[in-house]
Amino acid sequence: MLFRSPKALPIPADAGTVRLQLEFEAAERHEAYTVIVNAVDHTEQAWGREGLGAVPAGAMQNVTAEIPASSLPPGDYIVLLQTPERPKDPIVETYTFRVARPAAR
């Protein structure tokens, strides 16, 4: 597993939803995926959703997660893309991002 510096994800103050498009290699295809978003500095889950489908994109696949912006205060996050079809090793891919909110004017 390779961890890189989290990409900045600017979220406008008036945003209602944040859309994450999670791209991964299409080596395996599964019926359903789970997305779990955790703040790096907290033990509790910030957001999660089960039963998401993947869309083929050439040699890759995409899972889209629409997250309430209010669930993502400024900070660093780790996203786990999992499948219940592999109970012994459910993690398909891991992502990181940093939420930045513009300063109030």
In angstroms, rounded to a whole number, what is the distance separating the alpha carbons of residues 36 and 42? 13
Place of tokens 């299409």: 26
The CATH number that domain 7-100 falls under is: 2.60.40.2550
Number of other residues whose CB lies within 10 A of the CB of residue 34: 19
- Residue 71 backbone dihedrals phi, psi, to 5 degrees: -80, -5
Domain boundaries, the chain: 7-100
Q: State in Å, rounded, how far the first CA of the chain is from the last one.
A: 40
Q: Identify whether the C-beta of residue 85 lies closer than 8 Å to the C-beta of residue 43.
A: no
Which residues does residue 10 pair with via DSSP β-bridges, in sequence order? 100
pTM greater than the 0.95 cutoff: no
How high is the pLDDT of residue 4? 58
| Tens-digit pLDDT profile for residues 28-86 | 889 999 999 999 987 779 999 999 999 998 889 999 999 999 999 999 999 999 999 98
pLDDT value, residue 100: 83
> Across residues 84-94, what is the average pLDDT?
92
Query: Given this model, what pLDDT does residue 1 score?
Result: 42
